[in-house]
Structure 1
Amino acid sequence: MSTCYRHPDRPTGVRCVRCGRPICPDCMNPAAVGFQCPDDVRAGNAGVRRPSRRAAVRRAGRRWGPVTLSLIALNVALFLLTAGLAVLGGRTPLDNWSSRLFQELAQVPVLVDAGQWWRPLTAAFLHYGLLHLALNMLALLVFGSELERTLGRARFLTVYLVSVLGGAASVQLFEVPFGQVAGASTAIYGLMGALGVVLLHQRQELRGLLTLLAVNLLISFLPGVSLAGHVGGLVAGAAATGVLVAARRQRPLAISGIAALSVVLLVLVYSGLG
């Protein structure tokens, strides 16, 4: 009787189905038919391509949209940064709004008018706690991925940023001067407005979206929620998408329309700048 090629002191009657060498029970690796030796198993595994992290990222990008995922990543990164700074300041991570960085980036109309021009833009990527972040990012994933597939990356990002400007302009005009506003909600409402325009253009059913929008607008009347910012983002997102859809085959006209809308919103945001 033969002995195992790896353990000469062990007699065996089993051979590797690939190389034919005798193998003992400790060296037997089940195959589709019979058993394989450890060397052939390693050689076979070496030729198998393992899924790479880069491939996983590409698959996620194709499914959800690279712009959508990048926006989510930016929001999450700022939350983690402000939460970390809150911890260093002796607070809990959920009190991220208490960090100095958060206070320097949130939109406060009177401070914007005083010359702190960055606040209307940076505020759209801040969130008050984990629940606020989670709800907005879930909405961004759902609406953003759908619109990115429909409009394309550049147009989707344009609608998102114009929605941010629309919400910021409305906050500057209608919120209390010393009130603090932050969150991606202005852009999320803009995406809902954009999706409404797309569905209308495609002559699809609007009742589901209108019901969701009505519920969210009712929530906007709750204390601490910026109704002005939500409505401003909604109107701006719908207007930007209307321009892009109407001029979809006339690129110069689409660019001109978006530029004009952006200029109007920027003037409204910074009209009180002194």
Structure 2
Amino acid sequence: DDDDDDDADADPPPWLWWSDRALYDVPTVFPTAALTFLALHLVVFVGDYALYAAGVGNGGDLFLRVAEVDDAVITYSQWWRPFTSCLADYGLVHFAVANLGLIVIGLEANAVLGTWPFVAIYVLSGAVGSLVTTATDADTNLTVGGGDALLGVVGAMCVYILINVEPDWNRAGCYTRCITMGVVATALLWLGGMPTIGSEHVVSNAGHVAGFVAGGALAYNGMAPLFTSAREGDEGYERSAGVARRMGMATEEGEGRGARR
């Protein structure tokens, strides 16, 4: 019992920086995927500057390999570009906002959603956002999906909050997360409302909205954990704990309240 009390009072891991562990005792994983996406964004963005400084690039070689370019997709059948567009950022401000969002939202989202659900939500939301922009904006021939992907994660976390009625048991953490998501989303929507090349919207609010909806839909259809309040020994606990173990979401302290159902 003393060990359980110590676990409940322990400091949360850094990717749950806002959390009181005593109120937020749910299964988590190390945010490997979010950190990997952060590294890839950095490689693409900083790599272009490094190549340009070295005299072996035009400052956008890596960017143009991963961004959604309409001609490349439609004419040359480069079908992978909508999926890689989640790694593309347009300009320093967009890079800063999208990657700060990955830190303050993505690390925690990865921790509570799980590694592969997070990967699927991030990549697919970015792809949906890019494709919607391509389909609906005739003036835009180049699209980045970094903001679309992040807003997909925001949509998924909104669904996570709702289906688990999180304000009932983690009010402070839930409200802090909502404020953080609201600030980052507002910054991205502001950027999406500004033309970037003539009348083009390389950063597009059509893509942002589509990414948000896609992320929420994916979370609602099985990619966000649904927790049970069953305790060890309660009816249904073993089934819930077994699902948690299969999903790789069990905590070292034991599943307890955080078991999936």
TM-score range, shorter chain: 0.5 to 0.7
| CA shift for structure 1 position 101 | 3.5
Match of 2:78, as an amino acid?
Q
Q: Which has the larger radius of gyration?
A: 1
TM-score by length of 1: 0.58
Task: Please name the residue that 2:47 is paired with.
Answer: 81
For 1:1-274, what aligned pairs fall within 5 Å after superposition? 65-89=31-55, 98-114=59-75, 115-176=77-138, 179-203=141-165, 204=167, 208=179, 211-212=182-183, 213=185, 216-224=188-196, 225-244=203-222
Task: Report the RMSD for the aligned CA atoms in angstroms.
Answer: 3.3
Deviation at 1:75, TM superposition (A): 0.9
- Pick closer, same or farther for the CA change 1:99–1:89 going to 2, 3 Å: farther
Does the CA-based 8 Å contact 1:197-1:238 persist in structure 2?
Answer: yes
**SS across alignment from 2:68:** coil
* Percent identity of paired positions between Structure 1 and Structure 2: 29
Letter in 2 for 1:116: Q
Amino acid aligned to 1:141: I
C-alpha displacement at 1:65, in angstroms? 1.5
Separation of aligned partners in 2, 1:210 and 1:61: 15
Structure possessing the higher relative contact order (Cα contacts under 8 Å, 6 or more residues apart): 2
Runs of at least 5 residues in structure 2 that lack an aligned partner in the other structure:
1-12, 18-29, 168-173, 197-202, 227-239, 244-261
Letter paired with 1:150: V
Q: Which amino acid letter does the alignment assign opposite residue 172 of structure 1?
A: T
- Alpha-carbon separation, structure 1, partners of 2:36 and 2:186: 28
- Quickly say closer, same or farther: Cα 1:72–1:209, change in 2 above 3 A: closer
User: Is the 2:109–2:118 Cα contact (8 Å) retained in structure 1?
Assistant: yes
How many correspondences in the alignment? 189
Opposite residue 36 of structure 2, the aligned amino acid is: S
The change in CA–CA distance for 1:145 and 1:228 in structure 2 (over 3 A counts) is same
Q: Which residue is 1:49 aligned to? A: none
For 1:245 and 1:105, the matched residues in 2 are separated by 26
When structure 1 is superposed on structure 2, of 155-164 and 202-211 the one drifting more is: 202-211
Alignment-derived partner of residue 235 in structure 2: none
Change (3 A) 1:178 1:89: farther
Instruction: Give 4+ residue runs of structure 1 displaced > 3 Å after superposition.
Output: 59-64, 88-91, 205-219, 245-249
Contact 1:109 1:175 in 2 (8 A): no
Alignment partners' CA distance in 2, 1:129 and 1:143:
21
